[in-house]
Structure 1
């Protein structure tokens, strides 16, 4: 008899935010010194963001990722030595190489696990989670650590009001274990490289010099339109593939880009707003870290309980998007 493939089940989560909390008022005051006008009211009205956490210069992505990982391992009751797969989703790695995942591995004291980064910007955690699920289902891993971590403040143009008010820094992590009972039920990933210019940081380091534009640039209206369209389609597709209905979903945990996108998406999917996990007001857009941060917050405050069905959705530069249907 053929042995059934194992499922990937989430057994722990953790998150970490840098200690420097910056309110909208504080940010507006700082930007005013550069003759850039904004206000708490302006930011909240357009984005829903009220504050963000920013890393001090010198605090690297690997440091945030390592602390989130330690908290996830503690929550799972898993030792670092048990890990056989470490994936870090990030667009702001410490170095060109080695990967941030290898740096986290060294910090945790693990030796021998496969360790690599995935780069799908704000969809990165969904890409990483789906990759880890595939490893476990194929029998190539039994215990995986998946992290989303970013220091996006390092690639922002602080003279560009359209982008610099939107982002924050942070890290979130989950531990997955092989299980006979379903955890990750269904997933799908997509990309459309022809849309690369609507959200990009197109700089490069070559021959010892920065070439191109090293800062994040975004066409906000185009991103909004693409995001709600592809996330709506992806949500319906992944739920249908699982043989379920959108009404079966207990929690929608989308990428935390903008409160308007979250509200519009929930309305299109006919998911009540009280079933949408929202942390963008507290964390701002933390790119690949936003979904695991939101997931960890909702697990720790007791909203998400064992047995609940969560729909995780990412969308970001590339243009990339994807969904994961997860039974807690």
Structure 2
């Protein structure tokens, strides 16, 4: 039966792509009202944001670098969403992953070949994130505790524990609240001189391909999607739902840990309080805006990277305070994430 015109329009309006675009436009519209309310020009503000993020080779490089952890944390969130889980613990998994990576780098012999050292740091970071993610899954299935509550608590534990390690056992030789730099040969090669963009960009793109293959081309991915679509039906079909829930959180955590590794080996070469920039939380919005599609996450991660990278010039040229920039970024995240999260919650309730 052919669809009527009204049905076609309804289908178009309710499509994830259209909803995402409308969310962004609504965010920009309300942000413009706020900017006008303080007597500034929205045109100047947004043109400055684009200039600061895309106006030169250096700006583009810095934007891509900001996008790398957002793409990876978006993948982590999207992987959990596909499995019917809400992984709010990515920020904690990122911190633990970064800690495992720097401990590995600090304890490797100085003569270790760069490729082997980097590979070991990546494995260690993913292992750390996997352990932290698996804890959420285990406590959920064994104790019946909601994964959101567990993840929030584990976030605090991870962030504060890493902060303790940075400020005490791993404190730099200069007695600053940060670690020493890891050996230069243990870091990702730089792609653009005098910028922080490194080969971590290729690692993020490789992660996108791997996650896409796992979710869409493997038996494991089929089972995870079946659990995410309807856990009760999947269980009735003979799928081990509890075991897959733990595995999904562990794999999501491993991806989150990888984000911490890229920040250490690519961007900073050391750890300090607040090194993540809360990208573990922003990854949720990145995933929701992309409707959990791994390849679209590249675009949404880039979008948030543009906002992050161009915020400083937007503040300077448009005469806006830094707080106004944060409000605008938060507004975009709110309008993008809220509809998707509510749909996710309703979907989970229907499957029970």
Normalising by structure 2, report the TM-score.
Answer: 0.27
Larger Rg: 2
Which structure has more helix as a fraction of its residues?
Answer: 2
Q: Greater RCO between the two (CA within 8 Å, min separation 6)?
A: 2
Normalising by structure 1, report the TM-score.
Answer: 0.28
